[in-house]
Amino acid sequence: MRLDKFLADCGAGTRSEIKKLIRSGAVRVDGLSKVMPDTKVNEETSKVYLNGVPVSYKKFVYLMLNKPDGCVCATYDKNKAVVTDFVPPQYKHFDVFPVGRLDIDTVGLCILTNDGDLAHRLLSPSKHISKVYSAEVRGSLSDSDIKAFEGGMDLGDFVAKPAKLKIISSSDDKSVAEVTICEGKFHQIKRMFLKLGYEVTYLKRIAMNRLMLDESLAEGDIKELTTDELELLTYGTK
């Protein structure tokens, strides 16, 4: 890999800025200061320093966002905030995108990455990756609703696969439940509840595959996944 591309991928600046840095002597590679933009480096073994600070190469990045209400799961929207608006400056050069979509009023776990292959695997129907949501609905949920979710549901334009409904609490006015699905069709959970006569008033994604939302993150907060968290997210996808 060329040295200038290595540094650009690491967020050290634009190609023109990096070339100036290299020619000024600010960059050393394996102890050598006389390097050029086209100097070849090994992203795994070369020791690269910029102004005396070691630079580690990172091809992909994996971020967890606690998505807030009113935010669109996209990289651009003409009128509304998008999830990539919350990406800190040090990650901007990765050009991340959201893995899948959440409705604008759905909050919670949103994964942002530049790893297209992983995103494809997480969203592939053949992988059966589970997504868990916490839902609040108007009305009293019952065992018959659990069976309705388990049996799959004809929503008109498609038949939802069997899903798991776990009732956390139930009263005449309000019920709280956890819903586990392996799909992610447009408004799917809201439509499933609506077919049974319930209006969803709050929806939050709390897990994807084996990865749980870090509850220490306030809505709008974002962090890079740890190695252990990435393993939980990618479990069974390879």
Active site amino acids: 103
**In the structure encoding, which two tokens stand for residue 32, read together?**
């050598």
Cα 106-110-111 angle, rounded to 5 deg: 165
The Cα–Cα gap between 136 and 138 comes to 7
The Cα–Cα gap between 93 and 149 comes to 42
The Cα–Cα gap between 68 and 66 comes to 6
The Cα–Cα gap between 147 and 21 comes to 64
The Cα–Cα gap between 108 and 217 comes to 10
